[in-house]
């Protein structure tokens, strides 16, 4: 890869993730779990001190563990981050400057959360004003003040949403890595161990059974 392409990739990644740090934590955390699981599987596969029969048991178990680690980490952190984003977009978690900005547009004197819900979300309100340069039912003098402060208020809201999303993602990561994932991994490991023990027991019993005599002995009579 040429330096220019590498730099362009870094720049795009920065532009993409700098606006949503929580998303970067989720994506890179998931990638970290993937490589951790692959390293564990590879270590078992090349370990000469582990019997081949044990590897047939350990490798599938590690693959299942890896799938659980990645799947639970991603789904739990994404779900909780989405909850945080939803609380911000609906006005449940809102900064005073954003609330004041939106109340200036709220000509029907609705509850702020109802006003936001009527128009979709906070981001959609900002997007609508930027796109159409107007807002229904609002006097032009008020709109002039809105347009003058629009970019500043939109940036303030974006940073607030980014910060809340990051906090929710970190909390979700702690929950996923230290509580839910270990519990599920132990359950899966227990299932694999029970199956392995059952196979070992059946194999032992089968090995101790008397061998069947050849058919020719059936012709002998006493």
Q: Where are the domains of the chain?
A: 22-198
Report the sign of the C-alpha dihedral through residues 193, 199, 205, 207, in that order: negative
Rounded CA separation 105/100 (Å): 9
Q: What are phi and psi of 220, to 5 degrees?
A: -75, 135
- Model pLDDT for residues 132-188, shown as the tens digit of each residue: 766 766 667 767 777 888 889 999 999 999 999 999 999 999 998 888 888 887 777
Residue 58's alpha-carbon distances to 40, 77, 145, in angstroms, are 10, 28, 66
pTM of the model: 0.74
Write out pLDDT tens, residues 45-81.
998 888 887 888 788 888 888 888 899 899 999 999 9
Specify the higher pLDDT residue, 3 or 4: 4
pLDDT digits (tens, 9 = 90+) for 103-144: 888 888 889 999 999 889 999 989 888 877 667 666 677 677
Residue 4's pLDDT band (boundaries 50, 70, 90)? confident
Supply the pLDDT for residue 15: 75
Answer whether residue 2 shows pLDDT above 60: no
């Amino acid at each position: 890869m040429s330096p220019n392409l590498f730099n362009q990739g870094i720049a795009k990644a920065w532009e993409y993730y700098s606006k949503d740090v929580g998303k970067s934590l989720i994506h890179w955390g998931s990638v970290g779990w993937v490589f951790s699981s692959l390293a564990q599987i590879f270590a078992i596969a090349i370990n000469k001190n582990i019997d081949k029969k044990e590897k047939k048991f350990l490798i599938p178990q590690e693959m299942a563990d890896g799938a659980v680690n990645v799947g639970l980490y991603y789904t739990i952190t994404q779900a909780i981050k989405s909850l945080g984003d939803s609380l911000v977009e609906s006005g449940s978690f809102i900064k005073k400057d954003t609330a004041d900005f939106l109340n200036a547009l709220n000509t029907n004197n609705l509850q702020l959360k109802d006003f936001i819900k009527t128009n979709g979300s906070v981001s959609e309100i900002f997007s609508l004003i930027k796109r159409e340069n107007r807002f229904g039912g609002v006097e032009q003098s008020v709109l002039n003040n809105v347009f003058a402060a629009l970019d500043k208020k939109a940036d303030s809201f974006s940073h607030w949403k980014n910060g809340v999303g990051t906090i929710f993602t970190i909390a979700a990561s702690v929950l996923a890595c230290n509580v839910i994932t270990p519990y599920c991994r132990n359950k899966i490991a227990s299932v694999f161990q029970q199956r392995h023990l059952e196979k070992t027991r059946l194999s032992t019993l089968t090995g101790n059974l008397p061998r069947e005599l050849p058919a020719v002995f059936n012709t002998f009579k006493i």
